[in-house]
Structure 1
Amino acid sequence: MSDDIIDLGSGFYSIRGDFRIGGILNVGTQCSLVEFEPGRFVFLDSYTLPDAVREEVDRMTDRGEKIEAILNLHPFHTLHCEWMHGTFPDAKLYGTARHKRKMPDLPWQDTLCESDALSGQFGEWFEFSVPAGVPLVCDDENVHFSSVLALHKASGVIHVDDTFTYLRKGFPLSVLPMTDRMDFHPTLAKALKPEAGAADAFREWAIDLGIRWHEAKIVAAAHNAILHLEPEQFPKLVGEALGRVKKVLDKHRAAHG
């Protein structure tokens, strides 16, 4: 199996990709391929697969015929959607409202990834969660905080883009204080809705997520790395991440009542 596709167990395959800022600094990106039932696959997010990964995916999925859907969960991960649809045209294409707005010529399904209806279609195999207190798409499109988080029930893998980060990189990024720990994306302060109660709504969402997904085993995070969890560790890591953004939440409460 290619080094860029990682078998995380129970049918979950994490595909790690490249994304370079300014063409130099590789901060990485990801998509995931999940065999949610024998012979039935779904992609979480889109990525232009390198030849070796594409060959492996073709072998696993009978040249793509067993891929039933592509769920584009992060509204700003749009660079690879056209390639993904062109490569696997028979897979149903799901996206957020921003995907449909930015690429109206693609054959999007009516169901939006941020809607409760997605759970109605895929809830047997996945749980989905959208952060509260922040918009999915901020007015400032440089702020990429929110996304649709997905938990694959069989493997215990959380697929998440940006909302949670896990940085494991070599020098010079290795000297940053957030290296090798799970954090909220640093744009939280800019992402919180400018209204009373947003900070509390976000905190309550995060605590509830930690409780509901307490049995999670792995966090597959973009853009950086895969975090293997100890039993019942996810709630603890969420709590620690909330502790590190306490000043951000307190400042927002003070400003908006």
Structure 2
Amino acid sequence: MKDQLHDLGHGFWNIRGSFVRDEMVDIGNQSALVRLDSGKFILLDSYTLTDKVREQVMALTSDGEDIEAVLNVHPFHTVHCARVAQDFPHATFYGSARHHKEVPEVDWSEDYVESDAVAKRYPELEFSLPKGIDYISPDDSVHSGSLLVYHPASQSLYVDDTFEIAPSKLLNQIKGDINLHATTLKALKDEPNAGQEYCDWALGLAREWYDVRYFCGAHSGLVVFEPGEFAEKLTATINKARSTLAAN
């Protein structure tokens, strides 16, 4: 898959990349460049920039000097962290506790990426951590937990794994459902009403982020929704899954 940079307007660019699983299938990867009100930039997630996309990002950011921080929002997406930290040594790197543990060579900020401190630092963005499921599962194969990021100005939702859309199609008007990650049931916390809490959180998200137009999924590609379509589809998915989730 050829890396691409998509300008979604109002200071938000989605970077589409590659991730080859088991040396066979490219399931895709992503990052995002966000321009702050200050004129500086941040990156969402670490992804090694190469070739034309690197040139484009560098041109936008004064050869990278204007990138002030990298927010790594998925605890299990760690492959590119060390390289990106080398590429932007002046940037502040935010991650989860798992990032600190798995990539200790990076000079991580003491503030975890999911903290209120980081959310207050970047009012251009809205953040949401799923309720009822583990953000960092003790099972390394369970990747449902991630910090979701919404950029209201561009109506862009950036999400790694928690929600998915199949089939993966780039910039395609798609009528398919929003799917929950395949490991969502395994990710449920061992607590009463965990499934109910997850469903209530997701339905609340559909209401709060009703205006989502661009769905930037790590392995789903970049999907464009009609007005209100995101909320409609997420609500329908949760309503269908509620009985199964609530029973576990």
Taking the aligned partners of 2:168 and 2:45, their CA distance within structure 1 comes to 22
Check whether the contact 2:14–2:33 (CA below 8 A) recurs between aligned residues: yes
**RMSD of aligned Cα (Å):** 1.8
Q: Which moved more, 1:225-234 or 1:189-198?
A: 225-234
Aligned length: 243
- The aligned counterpart of 1:173 is none
Q: TM-score, normalised by structure 1?
A: 0.89
Alignment of 1:170-181 (within 5 A): 180-181=176-177
- The aligned counterpart of 1:210 is 206
- The aligned counterpart of 1:191 is 187
Structure 1 residues 123-180: Cα deviation after superposition (integer angstroms, max 9, x where no partner): x20000000001101111100001000001211101000001122348xxxxxxx994
2:247 paired with 1:251? yes
SS at match of 1:34: strand
Check whether the contact 2:95–2:108 (CA below 8 A) recurs between aligned residues: yes
- The aligned counterpart of 1:151 is 150
Could you tell me which runs of 5 or more consecutive residues in structure 2 were left unpaired when the two chains were aligned: none
Taking the aligned partners of 1:13 and 1:35, their CA distance within structure 2 comes to 9
- The aligned counterpart of 1:78 is 78
Alignment of 1:82-161 (within 5 A): 82-122=82-122, 124-161=123-160
Taking the aligned partners of 1:208 and 1:179, their CA distance within structure 2 comes to 22
Identity of aligned residues (%): 38
Check whether the contact 1:21–1:27 (CA below 8 A) recurs between aligned residues: yes
- The aligned counterpart of 1:162 is 161
SS at match of 1:220: strand
Check whether the contact 1:39–1:61 (CA below 8 A) recurs between aligned residues: no
SS at match of 1:139: coil
What is the CA-CA distance between 1:47 and the residue it aligns to? 0.5
SS at match of 1:158: strand
Check whether the contact 1:72–1:113 (CA below 8 A) recurs between aligned residues: yes
Taking the aligned partners of 1:38 and 1:97, their CA distance within structure 2 comes to 28
Alignment of 1:26-37 (within 5 A): 26-37=26-37
What is the CA-CA distance between 1:107 and the residue it aligns to? 1.0
SS at match of 1:86: helix
Could you tell me which runs of 5 or more consecutive residues in structure 1 were left unpaired when the two chains were aligned: 171-177, 253-257
What is the CA-CA distance between 1:36 and the residue it aligns to? 2.2
2:60 paired with 1:60? yes
Runs of 4+ in 1 over 4 A off after TM superposition: none
2:116 maps to a residue whose letter is: D
Structure 1 residues 162-205: Cα deviation after superposition (integer angstroms, max 9, x where no partner): 001122348xxxxxxx9943211111111111221101110110
What is the CA-CA distance between 1:22 and the residue it aligns to? 1.2
What is the CA-CA distance between 1:217 and the residue it aligns to? 1.7
- The aligned counterpart of 2:13 is 13
1:189 maps to a residue whose letter is: L
Q: TM-score, normalised by structure 2?
A: 0.93
